[in-house]
Amino acid sequence: MSSLSTPHDRYFRETFARQEVVCDYLRNYLPPEIRSRLNLSTLSLTKESFVDPDLRQHFSDLLYEVETVENDSGYVYLLFEHKSYPDPLTIFQMLRYCVRIWERALRADDALTRLPPIVPLLVYHGEQAWNAPRDMIELLAGDEALHIYGPRFSCSLLDISPLSETEIKGRILLRVVLQAFRSVRDPNLGREHLPKMLELLAQLTEKESALEYIQTLLIYLGAASPHLTAEEVQAALEETISEEGEQLMPTLASKWFEEGLEQGIEQGIEQGIELGRQEGRTEGAARTLLGLLTYRFGPLDDELVAQIHHLGLDQLQQLSLFALDATSIDQVEQETRRLRLSK
């Protein structure tokens, strides 16, 4: 598809690129016999991705270098699948990516005669429970007697979707990240799950960091959820972090506008509509602007909503910037009429 990353991809990278989040994940979700062989204090993120370009809409990955307790070099490889259903070939794709990591190690050291260990971790948050193979042998057809020649390869799986909030383990940041992935498609996200996630983040002792994590969370949910409304975000912020939440509004509005544009582009491409890119950008911009206005001024008049849907992309961009500084909905309505007349 395009080179645009999805909201799931961006949130995964922004959160799991933090060493404290990855360490917390490994402590809570790796088997103890594996975790005990790794020196987690040596984790170091690399900059490479091993996912095929045409699959980056559905998969994200991060590679960490790590030392074992014997001071040998190894890797922790995280593959995040953000399809809504389990792909039966995921374990094969994981194997391909691990082979690429080994090839990378061989290129870096031509004297290498034994391959460094890789801990492959699959994170999944689809609507259906994971029922696809977790071992390469399960993919092989034919008589089982022939499977002796097949590769023995498996991975550690975390299927987030069926977990309850009490079953999600870890410290605050990891729990919020996993809860966000688990509930992003839930119609009750804004009313039920978002306030709980914000309450957790509000418990962080460093307020600046808490606001940063809240901003990252809301940008992700605003871009990825088909159900979350601006009214629900506003209510959740007022309920949990009212004063600090007000500081986030201008930045969130700007970020949501950018996310809305990119989401619109992707929808246009996926639907294959004529002039999909332009129409998708316009639809995304209008949707995001309406969310911003509702967040700032409350429910909108139907006539204003209709007028906004008739604006072009350039006009929507102008109106969104204007709305950030507007002090009343009347000012927005006047500017909307002016832009309509200027078409």
Cβ neighbours of residue 218 under 8 Å, at least 6 residues apart? Answer: 233, 248, 252
Q: How far apart are CA 22 and CA 40, in angstroms?
A: 9
Tell whether 139 and 241 lie within a shared domain.
no
254 and 171 in a single domain? The answer is no
Residue 196 lies in a domain: no
Residue 20: its pLDDT value, please? Answer: 93
Any domain includes 153: yes
pLDDT at residue 232 in the model: 85
Domain end, chosen from 127, 154, 183, is at: 183
| Residues 224, 174 within the same domain | no
Structural domain contains residue 195: no
Q: Tell me how far the alpha carbon of residue 62 is from its chain's centroid.
A: 13
Number of helices followed by number of strands (H, E) in the chain? 12, 5
Work out how many domains the chain is built from and give that number. Answer: 2
The whole-number average pLDDT for the span 242-262 is 53
Least confident of 16-30, 87-101, 307-321: 307-321
Euclidean distance between CA atoms 236 and 5, whole angstroms:
27
Same domain, 65 and 177: yes
In 10 A of CB 209, how many CB atoms?
A: 12
Q: pLDDT higher for 32 or 238?
A: 32
- Position 336 in a domain: yes
Across the chain, mean pLDDT equals 83
Residue 207's identity, in one-letter code, is: K
Q: What pLDDT band is residue 37 in, cutting at 50, 70 and 90?
A: very high
Q: Residue 2: pLDDT band by 50, 70, 90 thresholds? A: very low
Is 214 within a domain?
no
Please provide residue 148's backbone torsions phi and psi, each rounded to the nearest 5 degrees: -60, -25
**Same-domain status, 230 and 171:** no
Say what the pTM is: 0.71
Domain identity same for 38 and 120? yes
Q: State the sign of the Cα–Cα–Cα–Cα dihedral 208, 211, 216, 217.
A: positive
Indicate the residue among 136, 161, 183 that finishes a domain. 183
143 with 245, same domain? no
82 & 143 share domain: yes
**CA 279, 281, 284, 286 torsion: positive or negative?**
negative
Measured in degrees and rounded to the nearest 5, phi and psi for residue 66 equal: -155, 150
161-211: per-residue pLDDT in tens?
899 989 999 999 999 999 999 999 899 999 999 999 999 988 887 776 777
Same domain for 116 and 27, yes or no, is yes
Share of the chain above pLDDT 70, in %: 85
Is residue 213 situated within a structural domain? no
My answer on whether 127 and 27 are in the same domain is: yes
Residue 210 lies in a domain: no
pLDDT digits (tens, 9 = 90+) for 303-320: 898 888 888 888 887 888
Same domain? For 80 and 177 the reply is yes
Residues 31 and 177 in one domain: yes
Domain span at 169: 7-183
Per-position DSSP letters for 13-40, written without gaps between them: HHHHTSHHHHHHHHHHHS-HHHHTTEEE
Domain boundary among 129, 164, 183: 183
Q: Does the residue 311 lie in any domain? A: yes
- What integer is the mean pLDDT of 57-84? 92
